[in-house]
Structure 1
Amino acid sequence: MKILHVIPSVGLSRGGTSQAVLGLLRALRSQGVNVELATTNDDGEALLDVSLHQKVEYQHIPTWFFPRFSPAQSAIREFAFSKTLTTWLWNHIAEYDLVHVHALFSYPSTIAMAIARLKRVPYIHQPHGLLCNWSLQQSKLKKQLYLLLIERDNIRQSQFLQLTSVMEEQEVKQLALNVPSVVLPLGVSVADPIPHARTRLREQLKLPAEQPIILFMSRLHYKKGLEYLIPALGQLVDLPFTFVLAGNGTPDYEQEVDLLLNKAGIQTRTYRPGFVTGEFKDLLLQGSDFFALTSCSENFGMVVLEAMAAGLTTILTPGVALASVLEEQQLGYVPALDTNAIAETLRYCLESSDVARSVGDRARRFIFEHYTWEQIAKQIVQIYGNIAEPIKSFS
């Protein structure tokens, strides 16, 4: 069985979804699945420095990169149009037994599904939260038209939708697409332990040895609920803590974050490293004490898995899909999306650090039991087989 995955971008600037797909493909290869990836050289405002129009080994995955059209207009650039990707898909998509398409409202995803339909190649669609209520409310008219005129037929012809949480499945059902779906979470790639991470992080940040660190690590965007989290931290200035705000966003929104920090009176105890990756990202995860994500909407949240796998005490608001798992399994804390409720939860965690730490340890064990890429890949391999075999027999 030969599987082609298509995604608009694998650039780090595109966040968790791109990295999750790479993690999945590496796990599938370890299971003996013949997978390849087709994508563009998009990396947000920049372009990836990769070879184009040929199969290359990218992060241990056979990958075809094609040039993204890069005009000055950001809206067109974000669409990730690629003429040569279109030509390649038209000429080669029939060489694959199955196509797994990631994302939505982006040219590579749209054209991959359209060509697969025309060439009668079965495909799976994984929207990664882009069919959830909050996402569809952003640029609402444009997305409604795009969904009605183009994507609805693409989605309806897919073998099924692969969704990452029950919450995402419930919201997608409201669209009445009449497509079968399967809920399968994303997995986590666990970093190697860093010796004395807690001590090393405090030394690097020039903090007292026992200073509690509260970590936020995500794209800086208004859906992340920083207008609740930062004022909540401002209510805790009587307690010792350092807030690490890791991530970047548009210049306008970063200015809004500056104003929030100043108004809350925590600018001097906030460390802002910007977008983090590699060993420093691992050090932040392994050396912090608490992880907080107060998003209005997250269909999954890869960084949540990473924080839990590192043993951090995790605080999520209900809009994060994994919040239901935290509550059901008692693996963290889920305050309402409300400044006072978040402040109360954080205060409890800071004042009851031993109890909070035991919750983080329990979460870490749970992640290793249920959310490794190896476990997820085995389930996807079975799904691929269930699709490919009947089609092969019928043909």
Structure 2
Amino acid sequence: MLKLLHIIPSMSPSYGGPSHTLQQLARALKGKGVSVTILTTHHKKETTFKDQNAEIVSIPRLTDFIFYAPLMGPWLKKNIFGFDIVHIHSLFSFPAFIGGYYARTFKKPYVIRPFGTLDAESLRHHPIRKKIYFELFEKKNLQGAQWIHCTSRSEEEALRHLGLRIPTKLIPMGLILNLDNDKTSQARDRLDPQTFGKKKLLFLGRIHPRKGLDFLMEVISKLKQRRSDFVLLLAGSGEEKYIKTLQQKIEKENIKDHIIWLGEISDRLKKRELLKQADLFLLPSHRESFGLAVVEAMEMGCPVLISDQVALAADIQEAKAGIVLPLSTEQFSNVICDILNNPKARDLFGSQGIKLVKEKFDLGKNVENLIGEYQNILKNNSSLCPINLK
């Protein structure tokens, strides 16, 4: 049995996409007979994450800054021999650094999934600090990897722009399709009466500045000038400070009557039902290294409108599976108004979205490619990767 160690800074839902996609990946790998252990960290105020598809080893961290968890090193030193391959998720963190260090020390092959940490927008955030950290730690980490796991074409392009001569493998994340056998009706919840007879716009994801929610409130303000028969459903969790900032923005734009806060929706069936009821899914991100929520929306036939900063934008445009726009409030509000008036267009985008998910984002198929690449690593490194059988 193939034994994998996945290392990620956090599995908390508040960490967003990386933890969510790793949950999906663990489930798909388990379905193929692969043993998965996830090494992560937790803050003293957080409850320890549990997952039925993987063994979770969560080390307490002393600070949220680079997710510093000093006890992770001793754990790796003691246990890394029990795994065939190490898969590191995200960079510029202590777990990524220490995972790569011990993998190299004990000659365990490893791969890295940057999850957007190497794209231009991310590197512009604290650029001096990141440049120093990159030269001291991450360059050696990347150079020691067997290959870099990219989940989108834009992520591959970002690596090329950095001039990194490291092999890449493009293996998208996605969803395990047909998992619930269309049982969404069993999870139907009554929506707020405020939604009755209204067109439902939906944002589903982490409540975070990167998601463009401040921009979206300005779009809603413009849309309100043209029509009143709509509500924006906000489904997700985030830092209380930022949520308060958004609430102030909503008051300022005088759009409170058009906004409904749903909070975090972790139940898969409830999430699918919400997507099924929505008329249009919105993701106006300033930066998005993948966009699993977009895939979830398309799987349910919900038409999507996203910014051109979402990594899946090119795939969606090519497949005519949704609408991709620059971050212009005028363009967003105009297109939303038009698409809400055109049920045929919504149905067409919805059906094309379903087709695209089946073709490119079926995780059951994509994980077979990933396992094949893992096996190629072991074939090429059999003499360098002794496994402790004790």
What's the TM-score, normalizing by structure 1? 0.90
Q: Is the 8 A contact 1:217 1:245 kept in 2?
A: yes
State the secondary structure of the residue aligned to 2:162.
coil
Specify which of 219, 223, 230 is matched with residue 241 of structure 1. 230
Shift of 1:285: 1.9
Match of 1:156 in 2: 143
2-structure distance, mates of 1:394, 1:48: 38
State the secondary structure of the residue aligned to 2:169.
strand
Residue 53 (structure 2) pairs with residue 60 (structure 1) = yes
State the secondary structure of the residue aligned to 1:347.
helix
Shift of 1:82: 2.1
What's the TM-score, normalizing by structure 2? 0.91
State the secondary structure of the residue aligned to 1:334.
strand
User: How big is each residue's C-alpha offset from its partner over 1:225-270, in whole Å with a ceiling of 9 and x where there is no partner?
Assistant: 2233222222222321111122233333223312332333321111
Match of 2:45 in 1: 46
Unaligned runs of 5+ residues in structure 1 are: 51-56, 70-75
Residue 256 (structure 2) pairs with residue 267 (structure 1) = yes
What amino acid is the match of 1:49? T
| 63 and 249 in structure 1: CA distance in 2 versus 1, 3 angstrom threshold | closer
What amino acid is the match of 1:215? L
Specify which of 155, 160, 171 is matched with residue 184 of structure 1. 171
Shift of 1:137: 1.3
What amino acid is the match of 1:332? G
For residues 38-117 of structure 1, what are the structure 2 equivalents within 5 Å?
A: 38-42=39-43, 46-49=45-48, 58-69=51-62, 76-117=63-104
Q: Which moved more, 1:79-88 or 1:323-332?
A: 79-88
Q: Is the 8 A contact 1:194 1:283 kept in 2?
A: no
1-structure distance, mates of 2:84, 2:281: 41
Residue 290 (structure 2) pairs with residue 289 (structure 1) = no
Shift of 1:49: 3.5
Specify which of 316, 332, 343 is matched with residue 326 of structure 1. 316
Match of 2:129 in 1: 142
State the secondary structure of the residue aligned to 1:46.
coil
2-structure distance, mates of 1:143, 1:226: 26
What amino acid is the match of 1:212? K
2-structure distance, mates of 1:392, 1:196: 50
1-structure distance, mates of 2:166, 2:270: 42
Match of 2:388 in 1: none
Q: Is the 8 A contact 1:335 1:345 kept in 2?
A: no
Residue 117 (structure 2) pairs with residue 130 (structure 1) = yes
Q: Which moved more, 1:176-185 or 1:253-262?
A: 253-262
User: How big is each residue's C-alpha offset from its partner over 1:291-343, in whole Å with a ceiling of 9 and x where there is no partner?
Assistant: 00011111111111111111111001100011111110000011221110111
Task: Give the length in aligned residue pairs.
Answer: 379
State the secondary structure of the residue aligned to 1:187.
coil
Q: Is the 8 A contact 2:200 2:280 kept in 1?
A: yes
| 369 and 258 in structure 1: CA distance in 2 versus 1, 3 angstrom threshold | same
Q: Which moved more, 1:321-330 or 1:77-86?
A: 77-86
| 330 and 187 in structure 1: CA distance in 2 versus 1, 3 angstrom threshold | same
Specify which of 343, 358, 366 is matched with residue 333 of structure 2. 343
1-structure distance, mates of 2:208, 2:48: 26
| 195 and 390 in structure 1: CA distance in 2 versus 1, 3 angstrom threshold | closer
Q: Is the 8 A contact 2:107 2:384 kept in 1?
A: no
User: How big is each residue's C-alpha offset from its partner over 1:146-192, in whole Å with a ceiling of 9 and x where there is no partner?
Assistant: 11111111111111111111111111222222211111111114563
2-structure distance, mates of 1:18, 1:250: 17
Match of 2:381 in 1: 391
What amino acid is the match of 1:182? K
Match of 1:358 in 2: 348
Q: Which moved more, 1:105-114 or 1:353-362?
A: 353-362
Q: Is the 8 A contact 2:116 2:155 kept in 1?
A: yes
User: How big is each residue's C-alpha offset from its partner over 1:41-69, in whole Å with a ceiling of 9 and x where there is no partner?
Assistant: 34xx832236xxxxxx7322123222222
